[in-house]
Amino acid sequence: MDTFGDVHPKAWINDPRGKVVYSAHQYFDQTGRYTVAGNGPLELRYSFWANRFEAKSTTGERSFDEWNLHRLDKFIDWLARNQVRGDIGEIGWPSYQQMVASGIPASEASAESQRWNVLAEAWFQKADAASLSVTYFAASGLQFVDHPGLPPRLPEPNAVFVHSAGNGELRDAMGMPILTPEGKFQPRDIDTANSQYDVLIKHPSRD
């Protein structure tokens, strides 16, 4: 996301029918891992990332929220300049449930998840205004899946909830559906289990 326009100053595909969609990813911690130094322990607090990026002057004169919204604006502006269609292939941020499962006290996790959701709501309003399609990657109400190397009961990190017209499918990193023990698709709609639901329910996909 951050270097999209630098790497590609102009749209590079000859598309006379206007069918091509240019896709970018955005995570509020830049990588989507929400860890420090690659494979380190999870750091899910909003306050940690806001303080870290602002202290390192990564955000310039902007606040952490303003900086993240500006990153999206840059992609939207690129699409407009090139008169092409755009998509956000991945967006994700920590949930209250993830924080509690990782050992953060419930009261602190509640406050931190609310701050993430305020940023995410402002982000989605911009994405909606620009008519971007968005895939909620590890950010919707994912079923809890045990995964090697993570604390128990955290969502499988590469699971993606593909949402369209009110129904969706949970798929793994290879694109295969994650099924219930009975062999059924899950979930049929956005799961209300995780705190991101408060944002996602306001921004349904459009046909």
What does DSSP assign to residue 156? P
Residue-level pLDDT at 1: 79
Residue-level pLDDT at 30: 92
Q: Could you read off the pLDDT tens digit of each residue along the chain, which spans 207 residues?
A: 788 889 999 999 999 999 999 999 999 999 888 888 766 788 999 999 999 999 999 999 999 999 999 999 999 999 999 999 999 988 889 888 888 888 999 999 999 999 999 999 999 999 999 989 888 775 444 444 444 444 454 444 444 444 433 345 555 555 566 666 677 665 544 455 678 878 887 887 654
Q: What is the pTM of this model?
A: 0.77
Spatial separation of the C-alpha atoms in residues 176 and 173, rounded to whole Å: 7
Spatial separation of the C-alpha atoms in residues 194 and 78, rounded to whole Å: 33
Structure tokens at 61: 């004169």
Residues 6+ apart with CB under 8 A from 28: 49, 64, 68, 93, 116, 119
Spatial separation of the C-alpha atoms in residues 24 and 143, rounded to whole Å: 25
Q: Which CA distances in Å does 207 have to 52, 77, 167, 170?
A: 39, 24, 11, 19
